[in-house]
Chain A
Amino acid sequence: MEKLQLSKDPYNIIITGVGGQGNVLGSRVLSNMLVRKGYYATIGETFGASQRGGSVMSHIRVSAKSTWSPQIPRGRADLIIALEPVEAIRVLMIYGNQKVMVLVNTRPIYPVGVIAGELEYPPLKDIKASVKELSSTALFIDATDEAIKLGNSILANIIMIGAATRMLEFPIDREDFNQVILGSLPESKLDVNLKAFDMGARMVG
């Protein structure tokens, strides 16, 4: 196997969203793809009380040389995959920097405070403007909309993973995804997940 190298080591990825969006699964799939290629990956997750409708986040730290601690320091994210727009900003505020790339699913999930009318959800155009201002590359896709077309909104996380692989320098592709899900998903779910992955990859072309 050729010697692995990264232009930035460790390379720090954050997947963020709202409890129930498949954040944890997304981080596991992406990390498994990287480990298959011989990288070291450490994932740090928040779950527990924050699961039910709270903000959730997975940190993935990828290295060609060694394992890193599970928490990305402030200001040190390289790619942020946000399954929900407001969560993109929340994470950017803490982990962003001038070089960070951001991939955002544009479908909002309103917090209960917003539903009850106590809080306001910022307009999507303001969120987009802020994300652009705070990053070097910002891509916006309506992954949830495409997922619903595929039959289940939960597939948005896989669409996002498919899209993210196009933004990363790592040599990971559809075949790595296929191998990873072969070992972990029931056979009946394989096809639709591959479709979701391809859809994501196409959306950022």
Chain B
Amino acid sequence: MMKRKDIFLGNGAVALGLVEAGCQIVTSYPGTPSSEILPEVVRLVKSEGLNTYIEWSTNEKVALDNAFAAAISGKRAACCMKQVGLNVAADSLMSAAYLGTVGGLVIVSCDDPGPHSSQTEQDTRLMARLAKVPVLDPSNPKEARVMARLAMELSEEFRIPVILRPAIRVCHARQALSWGPLKNNTKKASFEKDPARWAATPRFRFILHGELNEKLKKIARRFEGLTAHNFHDLEPGKKYPLGIIAGGIPYSVVRDILTEEDRKDIPVLKIGTPYPFPEALADIFMSACEKVLVLEETDTVMEYFLRDRKKVLGRLSGHVPSEGELAPQVVYRLVDKVLKDLGLAPFKGDRNQDALDLVASLDLPVRRPTLCAGCPHRASFFAIRKARPKAIFTSDIGCYTLGLNLGGVDTCLDMGAAITMASGFYHAFNQDQVAQPIVATIGDSTFFHSGTAGLLNAVYNDARFILVILDNEITAMTGMQPTPGLGIRADGSKGKAISLERVVAGCGVDFVEVVDPYEIKAMTKLLKKATEYVNSSTGGIAVIIARHPCVIAYPKEAIPERKSVTVTDDCTECNFCLERFECPALYHDEELGRTNINQSLCTQCGVCLQICPKGAIVEA
């Protein structure tokens, strides 16, 4: 059969590697920069007619537990998430490392140095070290694909979960890859009962810990000779004043810089397996170099393992920044400085500074991201601020975090914290007999991910607040993945839809009402009714489900009746609409001396017809 050549996204390359490795089960929860892996698996599985089981799980821990069970039935399984998702799955990961596997288990955890779209810059490699599982660190999409296969083989051979850690620049790079027909893995599930392992008590856990340590020693020896991913360009017998040890994207970046600067005098040791660390290989490199600069994202991992403070330059010595991405210009500057400090020839440099000074005089307006025109969340936040202006607004992770532009978001901690922080605030103020109003907002997908435990805790401990579940019937932020509420599964097939109302009621909430946030008056009225319930002695937590489809995912359903909107001369330029509603289609028109509508951006949702204090926004 013919090989084809296609351009794959880095996440697609990971998906290809997993499917090529005969992965039979793939689970995931979406999160940038990992979100495209599962859809790419779906695409490959459909085009090749494979019988791979694929699911969007409700959260990362659920995804890992599911994949783990498949792996101890002898199958090959993978689960994919972003780096902070691995925090959610950490409980499962730590334990799974001790128990080991029968088949293969690959955990893909995508890091976000920068950070571009995450709450931290945490380094998955440290999580691998904490759990004592091997981690592979690809430097480009092509290597990510090969490493996905390698991770699966290592996992099965050594009976240990293996982590693949691509960083965002690998996930979101595209390269052409040749690939051929893919085959089903026909391995059947079989589970051999062994309670001393699969249900191990602490006494057996001690034994399993010893087993794990032995596995790691063997894997470290394997990594010493893994020349496809760990290699250097030392010339035999030669000594160097400076060498560089690098892995992941920083390796690709420094390799390119040295090529462009034509610097063959600086050898590079590339490490694709930061843990367990190939120490003997590093020793060979270290002994040929007087100083060694370590380039790795985002934390110090290899630098710790090198254990030579006098020789090693890196984050601990202050030569490499301890936060932010190692972007080409950062690497260029820091290597150049090290060269100068060591009395070596610096880089050539070719930047024209004058040109930069010229444009610096042009004050460019920043583009902060904003909720889309027609977004139902904008309507919800408008109503919430109108009804409860003095409340603390706890919120959560999703598109609706952008409600902070509208003054509707005061906190964002982690998945589910809108609810847990609302109860925390309540008890902190209530202790002082202060009746602090609190309105929490959480998206439907985030609620399914981490909402229920916090909600039933809040109910049980008699906290009082309003919870608004912003139900747009999709996981919008990460690229429109279906939610359990929708009842559509990862491959597009039908699943059982989960009713938010019933889940909320099941958590012990007695006030559950659904409203369409496009109806701002109705929602404001409902918020007032909810306030009375929260404040009454026989009341409790009030949950409002603000349900309206995402305007991007479902343009037709979201706006069934389009309303053409215009602004009259009654506009007094008070700018209330621009500040409090902040729709991208509304703008201040200098010439007309009033607010105006950008018709090419307007979705004709008609929500703004309800907001002008002077009634100047009307149907055309």
| Residues of chain A having any CB pair with chain B under 8 Å | 18-19, 27-28, 31-32, 35, 40-55, 67-75, 86, 89-90, 92-93, 96-98, 110-117, 119-122, 126-127, 130, 133-134, 153
Contacts and interface: CB of A to CB of B under 8 A. Distances in A.
Contacts of B402: 52
Nearest to A97: B352
Nearest to B573: A117
A114 B327 CA distance: 30
Contacts of A117: 575, 578, 588
Contacts, number: 172
A45 B172 contact: yes
Contacts of B169: 44, 69-71
Contacts of B405: 112
Contacts of A116: 575, 578-579, 582, 588
A53 B329 contact: no
A54 to B, nearest CB: 4
B46 interface: no
A153 to B, nearest CB: 7
Contacts of B176: 35, 40-41
B329 A115 contact: no
Contact of A96 (B355, B368, B575): B355
B195 interface: no
B117 interface: yes
Contact of B358 (A74, A130, A153): A130
A50 B587 CA distance: 21
Interface stretch (B17-25, B250-258, B384-392, B505-513): B250-258
Contacts of A47: 32, 172
Contact of A49 (B116, B174, B582, B598): B116
Given A49-B32, A52-B399, A69 B582 contact: no
12 contacts: A46-B172, A48-B116, A48-B168, A49-B477, A52-B369, A52-B402, A67-B175, A69-B253, A70-B173, A73-B332, A75-B351, A115-B578
B356 A93 contact: yes
B359 A113 contact: no
A73 B257 contact: yes
B584 interface: yes
Contacts of B575: 116-117
Given A28-B7, A52-B370, A120-B365, A134 B588 contact: no
Nearest to A72: B328
Nearest to A117: B588
Interface of B: 5, 7, 32-33, 116-117, 140, 142, 168-170, 172-176, 249, 252-253, 255-257, 260, 327-329, 332, 350-352, 355-356, 358-360, 362-372, 399, 402, 405, 477, 575, 578-579, 582, 584, 586-588, 598, 600
A67 B358 contact: no
A115 B117 contact: no
A46 B367 CA distance: 14
Given A73-B328, A98-B355, A53 B173 contact: no
A111 B367 CA distance: 5
Given A73-B332, A93-B356, 7 more contacts: A35-B5, A35-B7, A48-B168, A52-B399, A71-B169, A89-B362, A116-B588
Given A46-B172, A73-B332, A112 B256 contact: no
A31 B7 contact: yes
Q: B117, B172, B350, B582 — which one has the most chain A CB atoms within 10 A of its CB? A: B172
B370 A112 contact: yes
A134 B175 contact: no
Contacts of B116: 46, 48-50
Contact of B255 (A43, A69, A130, A133): A69
Contact of A71 (B174, B175, B327, B371): B327
Contact of B584 (A28, A53, A119): A53
Contact of B586 (A28, A50, A115, A127): A115
- A-B pairs with the 8 shortest C-beta distances? A48-B117, A69-B252, A70-B173, A73-B328, A48-B32, A43-B174, A119-B365, A115-B587
Contact of B329 (A73, A90, A93, A126): A73
Contacts of B351: 74-75, 97
Contact of A119 (B170, B329, B366, B399): B366
A55 B260 CA distance: 29
A165 B299 CA distance: 42
A112 B368 contact: yes
Contact of B365 (A32, A68, A121): A121
Contacts of A28: 7, 174
A74 B356 CA distance: 11
A29 to B, nearest CB: 10
Given A69-B249, A98-B355, A53 B369 contact: yes
B173 A49 contact: no
A55 to B, nearest CB: 5
B328 A133 contact: no
Contact of B369 (A44, A54, A115): A54
B141 to A, nearest CB: 8
A44 B173 contact: yes
A122 B359 CA distance: 12
Nearest to A94: B329
A126 B362 contact: yes
Given A48-B32, A97-B350, A115 B140 contact: no
Contact of A54 (B168, B368, B588, B600): B368
Contacts of A74: 328-329, 332, 351
A134 B142 CA distance: 36
A66 to B, nearest CB: 9
Contacts of A40: 176
A175 B253 CA distance: 34
Contacts of A89: 359, 362, 364
B368 A113 contact: yes
Given A28-B7, A71-B328, A74-B351, A49 B369 contact: yes
